[in-house]
Amino acid sequence: MDCLREIRGKQAHDPMFMEKMNTTSSSWRCICVPGPLIVGAGPSGLATAACLKEKGVPSVVLERSKCIASLWQLKTYDRLQLHLPKQFCELPLMGFPADFPTYPTKQQFVDYLEAYAREFGIEPRFNETVSRAEYDAVLGFWRVKSVGIKGEVMEYVCRWLVAATGENAEAVVPEMEGKGEFGGDIRHTSLYKSGEEFRGKRVLVVGCGNSGMEVCLDLCNHNARPSLVVRDAVHVLPREMLGRSTFGLSMWLLKWLPIRFVDRLLLIVSWFMLGDTARFGLERPRLGPLELKNLSGKTPVLDVGTLASIKNGDIKVCPSIKRLKRFAVEFVNGETDSFEAIILATGYKSNVPSWLKEGEMFSEKDGYPRRPFPNGWKGENGLYAVGFTKRGLLGTSMDAKRIADDIERCWKHDAKHRTAFTRSS
Ligand SMILES: Cc1cc2nc3c(=O)[nH]c(=O)nc-3n(C[C@H](O)[C@H](O)[C@H](O)COP(=O)(O)OP(=O)(O)OC[C@H]3O[C@@H](n4cnc5c(N)ncnc54)[C@H](O)[C@@H]3O)c2cc1C
């Protein structure tokens, strides 16, 4: 506590003060951050740091992995491209290079993010996992604990805390009866790179979101023999329609037309282009694609060729899994098929409840802000959330700008007081 008081005193005279306090224990250090502390160096953390920097507010970014955008660099498959056209994926203040294609590759997106971090001088503190963050009401500061790869503990003290750990922080791995019996490779898509290593093998892909569908196509392209578990109804839309990206067209139509009308239009055009997807085992949900996205956050699949492989029988559609057996899977319809590997395209979840100790802003249940979009970005006591809107990088940009505006106001207000204090002292 004395250490914190000392920090506050020094900080009052120097807005850029950041000092490492060596304490009696050599493996514990306390750092005072005068500006905001951002947890996570993915696109959301970078966008927020850049918007703050532009307003003259310095921030510190903590990242658990060894690089920026670790989801994109370490946990995605080789053939990944942005699912949405580039104009909907740009971060604030810096666009994509003009020569990038409409759907940049994963490497191009990573190159863009690296350039973005360089442009705004963002240098995250890597290999620091935030294990706990708590508001200290007595001090009026957040106390944030991080653990390094060798177990070294740091405590940061800051006035503003920005959660930017993402909607995809941890892989969701479902329990499956007989898992121990299976004997073959079972892995989450976060560990899948390419179909090359599955050449000639029978592979079951579980989950039919964008990742599951794309992994199936990748397996086909590498002469593996994929089957796809489709448990729930799903909207599959062509990635482009009427000469425009389906996403761009939808956004444009929504400016003038009610959501149900736009949904109806999307489904009619999809029917003409793709046919009746239910005939191939892909039933459509009762609600239209945009209405469903708005209500539940469930993203429609933008088809990049997988449906053609399903139609021609290269990918078999299967119902839910009942249990795993030795190199085989029994399905709920009673059929059993043999497989050498299982890829779980079962999604990700937020990890906020595991490290942020507060009961108001974030739901314990799913790790998302309780207040729905567009009001989930701001909590109490200088707490913010960026990138939890279920609206991809567009949502990230909106959050980042709002957060920077909000913090800038307090920062300038504080700066006035600091100056007055310094002059009078
Ligand atoms: C396969 C795939 C394709 C996608 N394609 C698109 C697309 O085309 N367009 C689009 O708009 N969106 C897309 N998305 C959505 C995607 O979530 C965003 O593009 C983007 O990565 C979100 O950025 P983020 O910074 O919020 O989260 P992340 O990119 O997940 O970054 C969060 C960072 O926080 C770090 N972190 C987590 N916990 C801690 C901790 N306790 N301490 C310190 N650091 C921590 C993580 O290591 C990570 O680096 C896609 C997602 C996936 C999975």
Per-residue pLDDT tens over the stretch 233-247: 999 999 999 999 999
Q: Hey, what's the torsion of the CAs at 242, 247, 251, 252, to 10 degrees?
A: -20
* CB-ligand 1 contact for 38 (6 Å cutoff): no
* CB-ligand 1 contact for 84 (6 Å cutoff): yes
- Give the residue, 242 or 48, on which the prediction is more confident: 48
Residue (of 190, 191, 183, 187) closest to 205 by Cα position: 187
- Which two tokens mark 95? 């666009």
Last residue of a domain, one of 289, 315, 348: 348
Is 50 exceeded by the pLDDT of residue 5? Answer: no
Q: How confident is the model at residue 19 (pLDDT cuts 50, 70, 90)?
A: very low
> How many whole angstroms from 226 Cα to the centroid of ligand 1?
27
Q: How confident is the model at residue 18 (pLDDT cuts 50, 70, 90)?
A: very low
**What is the arithmetic mean of pLDDT over 292-315?**
95
Q: Are residues 268 and 371 in the same domain?
A: no
**What is the arithmetic mean of pLDDT over 11-35?**
60
Specify the amino acid at residue 342: I
> How many whole angstroms from 41 Cα to the centroid of ligand 1?
9
**Angstrom distance (rounded) from CA 38 to CA 403:** 11
Q: Are residues 81 and 69 in the same domain?
A: yes
Share of the chain above pLDDT 90, in %: 88
* CB-ligand 1 contact for 396 (6 Å cutoff): yes
Instruction: For residue 219, count CB atoms less than 10 angstroms from its CB and return exposed for 0-12, middle for 13-18, buried for 19 or more.
Output: buried
Is 70 exceeded by the pLDDT of residue 25? Answer: no
* CB-ligand 1 contact for 355 (6 Å cutoff): yes
- Write out the residue range of the structural domain in which residue 301 sits: 172-348
Ligand 1 atom 30, closest CA = 166
pLDDT for the residue 16: 40
Q: What is the chain's mean pLDDT, rounded?
A: 92
Is 70 exceeded by the pLDDT of residue 9? Answer: no
3-state SS class at 16: coil
Last residue of a domain, one of 323, 348, 373: 348
* CB-ligand 1 contact for 42 (6 Å cutoff): yes
Q: Are residues 391 and 301 in the same domain?
A: no
Is 80 exceeded by the pLDDT of residue 282? Answer: yes
pTM: 0.92
Q: How confident is the model at residue 158 (pLDDT cuts 50, 70, 90)?
A: very high
* CB-ligand 1 contact for 287 (6 Å cutoff): no
Q: Are residues 324 and 266 in the same domain?
A: yes
**Angstrom distance (rounded) from CA 31 to CA 130:** 14
Ligand 1 atom 35, closest CA = 40
> How many whole angstroms from 166 Cα to the centroid of ligand 1?
5
Query: 374-393 burial by CB neighbour count: b if 16+ within 10 A, else e?
Result: eebbbbebbbbbbbbbbbbb
Q: Are residues 343 and 357 in the same domain?
A: no
**What is the arithmetic mean of pLDDT over 246-269?**
97
Structural domain count of the chain: 2
Assess whether the previous peptide bond of 43 is cis (omega < 30° from 0): no
Q: How confident is the model at residue 28 (pLDDT cuts 50, 70, 90)?
A: confident
Q: Are residues 62 and 78 in the same domain?
A: yes
pLDDT for the residue 15: 37
**What is the arithmetic mean of pLDDT over 398-404?**
98
Q: Are residues 19 and 152 in the same domain?
A: yes
pLDDT digits (tens, 9 = 90+) for 80-136: 999 999 999 999 999 999 999 999 999 999 999 999 999 999 999 999 999 999 999
Residue (of 176, 201, 206, 175) closest to 188 by Cα position: 206
Region for 222 from its dihedrals, namely left if φ exceeds 0, alpha if ψ lies in -120 to 50, beta otherwise: alpha
pLDDT digits (tens, 9 = 90+) for 176-224: 999 999 999 999 999 999 999 999 999 999 999 999 999 999 999 999 9
Cα–chain-centroid distance for residue 74?
13
Last residue of a domain, one of 348, 370, 394: 348
* CB-ligand 1 contact for 392 (6 Å cutoff): yes
Ligand 1 atom 18, closest CA = 392
pLDDT for the residue 20: 45
Q: Are residues 133 and 71 in the same domain?
A: yes
Share of the chain above pLDDT 70, in %: 92
Task: Render 37-53 in DSSP notation, one character per residue.
Answer: EEE--SHHHHHHHHHHH
Cα–chain-centroid distance for residue 33?
26
* CB-ligand 1 contact for 104 (6 Å cutoff): no
- Tell me the helices (H) and strands (E) count for the chain, helix number first: 12, 24
- Which two tokens mark 348? 């990700």
Q: Are residues 178 and 139 in the same domain?
A: no
CATH number, domain containing residue 92: 3.50.50.60
Q: Are residues 277 and 304 in the same domain?
A: yes
pLDDT digits (tens, 9 = 90+) for 100-112: 999 999 999 999 9
pLDDT digits (tens, 9 = 90+) for 409-422: 999 888 777 665 44
> How many whole angstroms from 168 Cα to the centroid of ligand 1?
6
Task: Render 279-332 in DSSP notation, one character per residue.
Answer: GGT-PPPSS-HHHHHHHH-PPPEEESSHHHHHHTTSSEEE--EEEEETTEEEET
Q: Are residues 82 and 22 in the same domain?
A: yes
**What is the arithmetic mean of pLDDT over 147-156?**
96
pLDDT for the residue 413: 84
Ligand 1 atom showing the smallest separation from residue 89 Cα: 11
Ligand 1 atom 38, closest CA = 165
Q: Are residues 339 and 387 in the same domain?
A: no
* CB-ligand 1 contact for 214 (6 Å cutoff): no
